[in-house]
Structure 1
Amino acid sequence: MTKHSSPGHKPQTSYPKLHLMAVAVCSAVMILALTLLPSPDATATKTVRLKPTSANVEPTPIEQAQELVDEQLVEPQMETVIARNWQDQKVRSGDTLSHIFKRVGLGSRDVYEVMAGQGDVELLKKIHPGQTMRFDIEEQKLVALEYVMSRTDSLMIEQSENGYVAEMQIKEMVPFTSYAEGTIDSSLFLAAQKAGLSEGLTMELANIFGWDVDFVLDIREGDSFRVIYQEMHLDGEKVKDGEILAAQFTNQGNTFTAIRYETSDRGASYFTPQGESMRKAFLRSPISFARISSHFNLRRKHPVLHTIRAHKGTDYAASRGTPIKATGDGKVIFAGVKGGYGKVVILQHGQKYRSLYAHMNNYARGIRSGTRVKQGQTIGYVGSTGLATGPHLHYEFYVNGAVRNPVTVKLPHAEPIAKQDKEAFLTVAQQMVGQLSTYAAAMESEKVANLDQ
């Protein structure tokens, strides 16, 4: 049976309702199998890919099934594709447009006409080695030029009646939602690698929970993590990692949960399911993944002076030149040499808090008294200036003028979710926590099934 369309439209096939219902049910079952059931060869970890959506809320399986049916009923729109006889040229070190044009038989006149064209032709002045330029030449005349800047971005320049016209073309990447989990035997990095997480995602996971967990001191065998994250795909292939949407980290029996939430005015950040910021006003450590070589101890024997002398901070052993980060937003109140501290930077954080970074090899560019810094900004580099037996960072933390142990001091929270966003956030948080639990249950069921085999 066919359905006739209005003038100017092609006829569209119509199927019986019973057929559509059967297709919808079958599609729903298939989607459930793909998204919730792990594969037979999975071990302690699993990556699951879901159908991409544009909203924060995932559609139900029945809604996804109906979308698939609707897609099959829509007549595909054929785009007009101009056949191009491309000649590809890789940009070499030291190349100019004239060099590249010459290699394909074009001259300086052609370069001039292209650069005199309309649109974003100025981008051709910023070519880099390794990029590709594609030429369509007919009868020794340039018809079209494509400057491939990356896998997603290219500049298309085409001939028109009024000269050349340049237009940016950007391919849209498709986000796929994935899930991974793991249990730590020795280190977070090894467990995450086994779970299929990239180094970048592992660092991001550590950054999210870094205010609550010291990934050098606090990690224990048996700690675990669960992550829902995005992978960005282009033309059916993964191009890069996307964002972590939700994550849980269990450390020594304490479970921390983080939900990503984005607003138009404040951007994206991570919050607890109750809406408290995962960020604290201060980082727990000024150096990423550094080993503590000497703890806070007010009656320590000094390694150089060999006398009982209060060690009012924490020493982090690291290679010379390792970046040192400001643990909180603040103002530089001192940057210079200070006795046994050697080269030191002191930051004031509002009225209540102050931090000190000593034995630096050098200061970061622009760091001087009066400079404002942001949390995580590099302020200097590890060294051994002053009374030091080797390269390390000496870090002190003060509350109302009194020195405190940087490792154990209670850190203040950053701002929670805004009041006007709280209701919407709580809805998203509940859904994401539910997804984490659903995936974890599916993984546990698979482990049990594997044991029974």
Structure 2
Amino acid sequence: MAEGKLDARAARKQAIRRKAQRRHSHFYQHCSHWSFNRQSEGTPIHWYRERWMLAATALLITLLSGFLIPAWATAMKPTAIEPVEHTLLPLALPKIEAPTLKAPAVEDWRVVQVRPGQTLSDIFQSQGLSLTDLQHVVDSAGDAKSALHHIQPGQEFDFLIGRNGGLEGIRFDKDEATRAVIRLDGATPAETIVARTVEAREQVAHGVIDDSLFAAAAKAGLSNAMVIKLADLFKYDVDFVQDLRVGDSFTVVYDTVYRDGAYLHEGDIVAAEFVNQGHRYTAYRFKRADGSIGWFSEDGRPIQKSFLRIPVDFTRISSPFSAARMHPILGLMRAHKGVDYAAPTGTPIHAAGDGVIKFRGWMNGYGNFVIIQHDSHISTAYGHMSRFATEHIGQHVHQGDIIGFVGMTGLATGPHLHYEFRVDNVQRNPQTVTLPKPEPLAGAQMAMFQSNAVKPQLARLMEIDNNYKLARADSTKRSDD
């Protein structure tokens, strides 16, 4: 059975082959003689010819590849660029002469600072200059001449001295904001006024009195000069010798003046607060409508009262106001209707307020005696003067004017001022009498003062005071812990 299946397959293959031969008879007729089978019946020469043709074709392709591939590689290789030789030729250029730069000459100004007691002539002579040179400068100073007549210790003068020792120039401050430069090295003297940049910077200081006002102020960073300004503001309300207590405090807002960026000096107080025995006093700087500057309390009243509480710088009260006391010379019990302020002989005595000199001369036990009438009701009296000032009877004086000097004329055991405050010719205690209040600012001036002076500075004073209280409370709490 297997043999039958094989015969059937062979017969089917033969049928397929015959069918293919019939369909492609022309191809078989053309290529029927090609054969690689050595057992075929064709002639051997036809096989070898075809083989040689194939071999020749392969050889030809090989030879062509040997020639074409190197030529292609050479064509793709970049062409080497030979370096080009350069020749440097000298070129004649026009000669240019560089300009000669002359450095500016540095002028050697000698700076001289005025010492206490020196005069301008002393300074000129110290620089080898003559009084003729000084006169020449004064004549050339123009409107800066007044600055040469009022020199102060610490003020500076700059001198430009020539090689022959002659004066060629001088520089000095005409005022705080301008400098005068006078050149004398030309045909005629030349004066130049140079403006300088001046600015005020605010500083703040706060202190509490533990020992003395000066000690507390120094601890707060205030100079002695600023302490005197502070005391001068509140001298109408506070006796800085008798009234100060431990725990009193102060806060000061003040200016420091800088010129051309360098510190120059302390300025004025802008605002201040002083708490004395629980009473609070304030002062604010304000520029009035007429251009004058003054200090006012929060209610707009001038700090400067109508009368000074104490008209002399004293060391102690040697005898207070009393209805009865033992007189140190007479040995009798009698009233002492004034206050005696002990002070060195020659200490200036100031008018307590504006008024007219009613009496000036010798008065029994008072010695050299002055009475000033201030208005129809109030007068003040000053006794035991060593000598009078230049005022005379009937002359009008202003508060603070010097009317005499401390002494011990009349019935006195030592140099002091006997001071009386009289109302309708009746003596009152100067330390306790109610002094009349000055009139406050009016209308638009008051509104401007409140908005420009009080409002901004009061906020600063309150902030500083609160910060101090918080710091003090914190310190106390930590000490308790």
TM-score normalised by structure 2 residue count: 0.68
1:164 shift after superposition: 2.6
**DSSP-derived class of the 2:336 partner:** coil
CA deviation string 1:360-400 (max 9, x = no partner): 11112x12211221111111111111011111111111012
Is the contact between residue 131 and residue 150 of structure 1 (CA under 8 Å) also seen in structure 2?
no
**DSSP-derived class of the 1:384 partner:** coil
Q: How many residues align?
A: 368
Give 1:204's aligned residue: 229
Q: State how far apart, in whole Å, the 2-side matches of 1:175 and 1:197 are.
A: 17
CA deviation string 1:303-338 (max 9, x = no partner): 111112111101111111111111111111111111
Query: Aligned pair in 2 of structure 1 residues 228, 140: CA closer, same or farther (>3 Å)?
Result: closer
User: Are 1:302 and 2:324 an aligned pair?
Assistant: no
The aligned amino acid for 1:416 is P
Q: State how far apart, in whole Å, the 2-side matches of 1:180 and 1:107 are.
A: 48
Q: State how far apart, in whole Å, the 2-side matches of 1:341 and 1:96 are.
A: 46
What aligned pairs does 1:145-160 form with structure 2 within 5 A after superposition? 145-147=170-172, 154-158=179-183
Give 1:440's aligned residue: 465
1:196 shift after superposition: 1.3
Q: State how far apart, in whole Å, the 2-side matches of 1:320 and 1:113 are.
A: 44
The aligned amino acid for 2:397 is V
User: Are 1:401 and 2:425 an aligned pair?
Assistant: yes
* Structure with larger Rg: 2
5+ long unaligned stretches in structure 2:
1-103
Q: State how far apart, in whole Å, the 2-side matches of 1:359 and 1:198 are.
A: 35
CA deviation string 1:172-228 (max 9, x = no partner): 332110100111122212211221111121111111111111111211111111111
CA deviation string 1:220-264 (max 9, x = no partner): 111111111111123444321111111111111111111111124
1:337 to 346, 356, 362: 362
Is the contact between residue 226 and residue 436 of structure 1 (CA under 8 Å) also seen in structure 2?
yes
2:193 to 165, 168, 192: 168
Give 1:382's aligned residue: 406
Q: State how far apart, in whole Å, the 2-side matches of 1:413 and 1:429 are.
A: 20
Give 1:188's aligned residue: 213
1:168 shift after superposition: 3.0
Q: State how far apart, in whole Å, the 1-side matches of 2:458 and 2:326 are.
A: 49
Give 1:246's aligned residue: 271
Is the contact between residue 288 and residue 294 of structure 2 (CA under 8 Å) also seen in structure 1?
no
User: Are 1:392 and 2:416 an aligned pair?
Assistant: yes
Moved more, 186-195 or 201-210: 186-195
Give 1:218's aligned residue: 243
Moved more, 347-356 or 435-444: 435-444
1:420 shift after superposition: 2.6
Query: Aligned pair in 2 of structure 1 residues 310, 157: CA closer, same or farther (>3 Å)?
Result: same
Give 1:272's aligned residue: 297
What aligned pairs does 1:33-432 form with structure 2 within 5 A after superposition? 84-88=106-110, 90=112, 95=121, 119-120=142-143, 122=145, 126=149, 131-135=156-160, 137=162, 144-147=169-172, 154-158=179-183, 163-265=188-290, 267-364=292-389, 366-427=390-451, 428-432=453-457
Is the contact between residue 133 and residue 148 of structure 1 (CA under 8 Å) also seen in structure 2?
no
1:289 shift after superposition: 4.7
Is the contact between residue 118 and residue 164 of structure 1 (CA under 8 Å) also seen in structure 2?
no
1:163 shift after superposition: 2.6
1:294 shift after superposition: 0.9
1:95 shift after superposition: 3.8
Query: Aligned pair in 2 of structure 1 residues 124, 327: CA closer, same or farther (>3 Å)?
Result: closer
CA deviation string 1:129-186 (max 9, x = no partner): 9743321758999765434678865321247987332133353332110100111122
1:436 shift after superposition: 0.7
Is the contact between residue 184 and residue 220 of structure 1 (CA under 8 Å) also seen in structure 2?
yes
1:441 shift after superposition: 2.8
1:292 shift after superposition: 1.1
1:107 shift after superposition: 12
As a proportion of its length, which structure holds more helix? 2
Identical columns (%): 36
TM-score normalised by structure 1 residue count: 0.72
Query: Aligned pair in 2 of structure 1 residues 127, 97: CA closer, same or farther (>3 Å)?
Result: farther
Q: State how far apart, in whole Å, the 1-side matches of 2:278 and 2:121 are.
A: 59
Is the contact between residue 131 and residue 149 of structure 1 (CA under 8 Å) also seen in structure 2?
no
Q: State how far apart, in whole Å, the 2-side matches of 1:285 and 1:388 are.
A: 20
The aligned amino acid for 1:249 is F
Aligned-residue CA RMSD in angstroms?
A: 3.4
The aligned amino acid for 1:246 is A
**Higher RCO (CA 8 Å, separation ≥ 6 residues):** 1
Is the contact between residue 119 and residue 167 of structure 1 (CA under 8 Å) also seen in structure 2?
no
CA deviation string 1:386-437 (max 9, x = no partner): 0111111111110122111111000012232232311111113122111111
